[in-house]
Amino acid sequence: MSFSVKQAVELLNQGIPVGMPTETVYGLAARIDLPESIKKIFLIKKRPFFDPLIVHVSNVNQAKTLSKEWSIICDELAKKFWPGPLTLVLKKSEQVNELISSGLETVGIRHPNHPLAQQLIEEVGCPLAAPSANRFGRTSPTTAQDVLEELGDQGIQTLDGGKCSVGIESTVLSVNLVLTQKSTSQQWQLRILRPGLITKKDIDGVLQKIGNYSWADQEAGSTLSSPGQMKHHYMPAIPLILVPEHMSEKQLALYVQQRLDQIPREFEGVKLHVPRKIEKIVELKLSEQAEIAARELYANLRKLAATKADIIYFRLFKSYQLDVWQALRDRLEKAASLKFTD
């Protein structure tokens, strides 16, 4: 018999983390009021304690209990995008254990749009902290089977909610109250810490009518790092190489062969299998429609990593530079070991 919500609730109440489906990627969930259980999440994932966790709620009222600075900005964003793939990073309340926020003053909060996640949080009656359910630095899981492959050896049980409909992690948005002597009303500063399906433009579309906010200085298209936003992340077990659109496989094999020494065997603690000789190469293919490509990305990467090829490559086609690809660009570039440019 498959693992039920009732069984998942029992485990969570005993302080044992469980795999939880969401619309973005699968998470490894634990009750936020059981610090030992939160600690287990870090140990199971081999995640450094400086990388904070996102807290998942089943409604806005629950979200409000987690933050000291819930504002009209948050109300509007939640009204439009929740439940959905938007995480709000806000000043935290006392309810949030410092293990969750890695000692920061803020906490990431999200209301996931998946019926099983919502049911689970409701039945537990407590928000759930959940990072993606992969070993640290690796490709995020988008099916229950992926979680089994990532964390099954640690005895993790997972609620099977099918394939994730979004496929890449939520947009992480920091909403920060700025106090200036001149200002008589509250001013908010926004910053995208991790791009996702919901873009800056989408957010502006909702907030422009309110107006008391600005975007933190940020280079166009770039993202400022948040703790744990490493340069390399989401990596498949074999090297992923980004190549110009028209490079032939033959050219590519030669090129990579000459540069094998440049591919580190380990990135920020994540081990990578680098071959001695390039014999088998496989292409990562994605839909040209960004939303569909997002759904395919991690599943395809996993499939290709399992073929035991020496390297995976991805062609940087023209529209790759367009805004709609920003979140995918972020994931692909962090997953890649090498990038060739024309």
Q: Given the complex with ligand TXA, which of 230 and 281 has the nearer CB atom?
A: 230
In one-letter notation, the amino acid at residue 241 is I
Among 37, 132, 143, 170, binds Mg ion (CB under 5 A): 132
Angstrom CA distances, 173 to 27, 107, 195, 311, 327, stand at 19, 11, 8, 34, 13
State the Cα–Cα distance between residues 34 and 56, nearest whole angstrom. 15
Q: Given the complex with ligand TXA, which of 131 and 275 has the nearer CB atom?
A: 131
- In DSSP terms, which residues pair with 174 in a beta bridge? 89, 191
How many CB atoms neighbour CB 318 within 10 A?
8
Contact set with ligand TXA (CB under 6 A): 22, 24-25, 27, 51-54, 85, 87, 89, 101, 104, 106-108, 110, 112, 130-132, 169-170, 172, 193-194, 226-229
For 60, the token pair is: 């806005």
Nearest to 213 by CA among 248, 178, 252, 242: 178
Q: Which residues of 226-248 are buried (b: 16+ CB within 10 A; e: fewer)?
A: bebebebbbbbbbbbbbbeeebe
Q: Given the complex with ligand TXA, which of 235 and 243 has the nearer CB atom?
A: 235
Q: Given the complex with ligand TXA, which of 47 and 278 has the nearer CB atom?
A: 47
Q: How many residues bind Mg ion (CB under 5 A)?
A: 1
226 forms part of the interface with Mg ion (CB under 5 A): no
State the Cα–Cα distance between residues 233 and 247, nearest whole angstrom. 25
Using alpha carbons only, what angle is made at residue 92 by residues 45 and 191, rounded to the nearest 5 degrees? 80
Cα-only R_g, the chain: 20
For 54, the token pair is: 């996102």
In one-letter notation, the amino acid at residue 68 is K
Per-residue binding string, Mg ion, 84-123, x by CB under 5 A, is ----------------------------------------
Stretch near Mg ion under the rule CB under 5 A, chosen from 14-22, 129-137, 308-316, 319-327: 129-137
Find which of ligand TXA, Mg ion, none residue 236 binds, CB within 5 to 8 Å per kind: none
> Rounded to the nearest whole angstrom, what is the least distance from the CB of residue 288 to Mg ion in the complex?
26
Stretch near Mg ion under the rule CB under 5 A, chosen from 127-135, 235-243, 249-257, 297-305: 127-135
Sign, Cα dihedral of 91, 94, 98, 101: negative
> Rounded to the nearest whole angstrom, what is the least distance from the CB of residue 128 to ligand TXA in the complex?
10
Q: Given the complex with ligand TXA, which of 141 and 275 has the nearer CB atom?
A: 141
- Report the run of H or E that residue 283 belongs to, with start and end: strand 281-283
> Rounded to the nearest whole angstrom, what is the least distance from the CB of residue 133 to Mg ion in the complex?
9
Residues 93 and 109 sit within 8 Å (Cβ to Cβ)? no
Region of 26 on the Ramachandran plot (φ > 0 left; ψ -120 to 50 alpha; else beta) = beta
> Rounded to the nearest whole angstrom, what is the least distance from the CB of residue 245 to ligand TXA in the complex?
30
Q: Given the complex with ligand TXA, which of 91 and 315 has the nearer CB atom?
A: 91
142 forms part of the interface with Mg ion (CB under 5 A): no
Find which of Mg ion, ligand TXA, none residue 45 binds, CB within 5 to 8 Å per kind: none
Stretch near Mg ion under the rule CB under 5 A, chosen from 10-18, 74-82, 131-139, 310-318: 131-139
Stretch near Mg ion under the rule CB under 5 A, chosen from 96-104, 130-138, 241-249, 288-296: 130-138
